[in-house]
Amino acid sequence: MRSSRIVEGLERTPHRALLSGSGMPRSELGKPLIGIASSFTDLIAGHVGMRDLERYAEKGVHAGGGYPFLFGVPGICDGIAMGHRGMHYSLPSRELIADLVESVAEAHALDGLVLLTNCDKITPGMLMAAARLDVPCIVVTAGPMLSGRLKRRRLDFVHDTFEAVGRFERGEIDREELSACESEACPGCGSCQGLFTANTMACLTEALGMSLTDCGTTLAVMAKKRHLAFASGQRIVDLVREGLTPRRILTPGAFDNAIRLDLALGGSSNTVLHLLAIAREAGVALRQERFDELSRETPQLCHLRPSGEHFMEDLDAAGGVKAVLHRLSDRLAEAPSVNGLSVAEIARAVTWVDDEVVRPVTSPVRPEGGIAVLSGSLAPDGAIVKQSGVGASMMVFQGSARCFDSEELAMAAIMAGEIRSGTVVVIRYEGPRGGPGMREMLAPTAAIVGMGLGESVALVTDGRFSGGTRGPCIGHVSPEAAAGGPIALVRDGDPISLDIPARRLDLRVEAEELERRRAEWAVPAPKVRVGWLSRYARLVTSANTGAVLDG
């Protein structure tokens, strides 16, 4: 075992002494040493319930014949970081999390890892570490939050806080209702209730084969989540003994399975960034275009919030991830999983699915998957749209550009009522390098929807969107403005055309005029010159490659 490096031999006497000082009995030496990487924090609603899960994972490791060591991993709440300079740190934290898990696991020669996670960048960061380390790992996602309640209406965080701000500004709701939404939208622990990034990634982790069946949708408040944490603790010891490591699980077929699930669910567009990054660590050559290839042949079967009316609690009651995979079972690869069965075998074994929440393939929500990859003169290296959140009337659209060089400037104009129907809001210099950190644009997109412009205004950015975003919002525009992409050359009034069925995003300006503008364009000065973000901006790659650190 890897841990023999620190527990065996005469020269390891000091190491054993320190383990003894940590409380480890000598009788436990020789058992698999299992790290429990916990992202518990009081700062994130999705993570405040993890103390219980830590205990149950520890109990499971002991029951399985291993010895557990708990260590901490930081987490950032995207909802709290949203709309201010804090969001610059969200995507970069994914890289830090992967590096920290790698550092602790290698420095202490751990034999296996239980990765306890939940929210947006933490889950992909831990999966990146698992793929990079290639030591036995199992992921426990802490689970979704219950829906809020206001009288007889169910609430979710995005619709009833971010979008409620726009409805208040429009005069659709009064301050009393806005205050009630604020108080009731998040009734307790768990990841936000819709198919936002946290819950999408939890579901995809199960489809990748890296967590136990039902882990992706089981609610944070349920005893079943404790049972899953316990079973995961037991199972990781078996994985160590079997030598089943992440790179044997994270095969090309596993990524196809996860992408198909994402498309069938209508999940977050952030998953494109994250799956590309995880695949890179696993040594799998995954291209952004693969999402579109599979989208063309994978129907959207679920209609969850933010674009639909079902919640994660509904998906869980309908059979969860395995139920959606069951609908797609004839298209799944026979990829292994931490369960000991292939993902396809688990899907085929399902005997009941709620047809209302998880539609049959013969009567889908949409004939194509939830994500589309666009290209064109405005995005030569691609752009991403969550087409599951776009209304039929906006699938093809042309409008006049209104350009902003930061999210704050755009948000001020939207809230001041300056954006009119027929506008394409362009927010640039918010990409991985230019942001830096590729901030999510949930505040402006939610405000546009809340103010009743979701069917007449599009938004295009080299930044990205929350999983809670809906409407004709195109992100990940590559190359980004800071790298001299065409989005840097757009001017107010320029016609921009969007054609999602044709997968096109075009700037309708003559080539000669664009060349003249390019000759006048200069590389902008870095927004951040010191600290972690300055280093990140120098090293990060483009969104179409997963916004990973190069070199």
Backbone angles phi, psi at 295, to 5 degrees: -65, -35
Rg (CA), the chain: 23
Please name which of 535, 485, 546, 424 lies closest in space to residue 88, comparing C-alpha atoms.
535
DSSP 245-282: -HHHHS-HHHHHHHHHHHHHHT--THHHHHHHHHHHHH
- Of the three residues 168, 184, 200, the one that is the final residue of a domain is 184
Within this chain, do residues 312 and 240 fall inside the same structural domain, yes or no? Answer: yes
Within this chain, do residues 47 and 87 fall inside the same structural domain, yes or no? Answer: yes
**Does 319 map to a domain?**
yes
Token pair, residue 253, equals 């077929």
- Report the CATH number at residue 381: 3.50.30.80
Torsion sign across C-alpha atoms 450, 451, 455, 460: negative
- Angle (CA) 301 294 358, round 5°: 10
Q: What is the pTM of this model?
A: 0.96
Token pair, residue 235, equals 């199972």
| Rounded CA separation 56/365 (Å) | 39
**What dihedral do alpha carbons 129, 134, 136, 141 form, nearest 10°?**
30
Within this chain, do residues 287 and 402 fall inside the same structural domain, yes or no? Answer: no
Q: What residue type is 177 in one-letter code?
A: E
Within this chain, do residues 240 and 329 fall inside the same structural domain, yes or no? Answer: yes
Contacts of 20 (CB under 8 A, 6+ apart): 26
**Does 2 map to a domain?**
no
- Of the three residues 348, 382, 397, the one that is the final residue of a domain is 348
| Rounded CA separation 464/265 (Å) | 19
Token pair, residue 378, equals 């405005």
Contacts of 499 (CB under 8 A, 6+ apart): 395, 396, 505
Within this chain, do residues 287 and 139 fall inside the same structural domain, yes or no? Answer: yes
What residue numbers bound the domain in which 52 lies? 31-146+188-348
Note the pLDDT of residue 16.
97
Within this chain, do residues 217 and 320 fall inside the same structural domain, yes or no? Answer: yes
Token pair, residue 156, equals 């979710």
Query: Do 264 and 81 form a contact (C-beta atoms < 8 A)?
Result: no
| Rounded CA separation 389/426 (Å) | 19
Within this chain, do residues 120 and 242 fall inside the same structural domain, yes or no? Answer: yes
Residue in the structure block whose two tokens are 């550092």: 103
Q: Which residues on neighbouring strands pair with residue 114, listed in sequence order?
A: 36, 138
Within this chain, do residues 331 and 402 fall inside the same structural domain, yes or no? Answer: no
Within this chain, do residues 478 and 538 fall inside the same structural domain, yes or no? Answer: yes
- Of the three residues 298, 314, 348, the one that is the final residue of a domain is 348
Burial class from Cβ neighbours inside 10 Å (0-12, 13-18, 19+) for residue 155 reads buried
**Does 550 map to a domain?**
no
Please name which of 174, 164, 254, 167 lies closest in space to residue 207, comparing C-alpha atoms.
254
Query: Do 67 and 61 form a contact (C-beta atoms < 8 A)?
Result: yes
**Does 358 map to a domain?**
no
DSSP 491-532: -TT-EEEEETTTTEEEE-S-HHHHHHHHHH--PPPPS--SHH
Q: List the catalytic residues.
A: 466
Domain count, the chain: 3
**Does 21 map to a domain?**
no
Query: Do 451 and 166 form a contact (C-beta atoms < 8 A)?
Result: yes
- Report the CATH number at residue 221: 3.40.50.2300
> How distant, in Å, are the alpha carbons of 107, 154, 451 from that of 165?
47, 17, 9
| Rounded CA separation 297/493 (Å) | 37
Note the pLDDT of residue 180.
96
Backbone angles phi, psi at 442, to 5 degrees: -65, -40
Pairing of the two strands 495-499 and 504-507:
antiparallel
Q: Which residues on neighbouring strands pair with residue 235, listed in sequence order?
A: none
Within this chain, do residues 496 and 482 fall inside the same structural domain, yes or no? Answer: yes
**Does 421 map to a domain?**
yes
Please name which of 480, 495, 332, 465 lies closest in space to residue 387, comparing C-alpha atoms.
465
**Does 410 map to a domain?**
yes
Please name which of 429, 422, 473 lies closest in space to residue 447, comparing C-alpha atoms.
473
Note the pLDDT of residue 551.
66
Note the pLDDT of residue 218.
98
**Does 39 map to a domain?**
yes
Within this chain, do residues 312 and 379 fall inside the same structural domain, yes or no? Answer: no
Within this chain, do residues 385 and 321 fall inside the same structural domain, yes or no? Answer: no
DSSP 313-378: HHHHHTTHHHHHHHHTGGG------TTSS-HHHHHHT-----TTTS--TTS-SBSS-SEEEEEETT
pLDDT tens over the chain, length 551 residues: 999 999 999 999 999 999 999 999 999 999 999 999 999 999 999 999 999 999 999 999 999 999 999 999 999 999 999 989 999 999 999 999 999 999 999 999 999 999 999 999 999 999 999 999 999 999 999 999 999 999 999 999 998 998 898 899 889 999 999 999 999 999 999 999 999 999 999 999 999 999 999 999 999 999 999 999 999 999 999 999 999 999 999 999 999 999 999 999 999 999 999 999 999 999 999 999 999 999 999 999 999 999 899 999 999 999 999 999 999 999 999 999 999 999 999 999 999 999 999 999 999 999 999 999 999 999 999 999 999 999 999 999 999 999 999 999 999 999 999 999 999 999 999 999 999 999 998 889 988 988 899 999 999 999 999 887 888 999 999 999 999 999 999 999 999 999 999 999 999 999 999 999 999 999 999 999 999 999 999 999 999 999 999 86
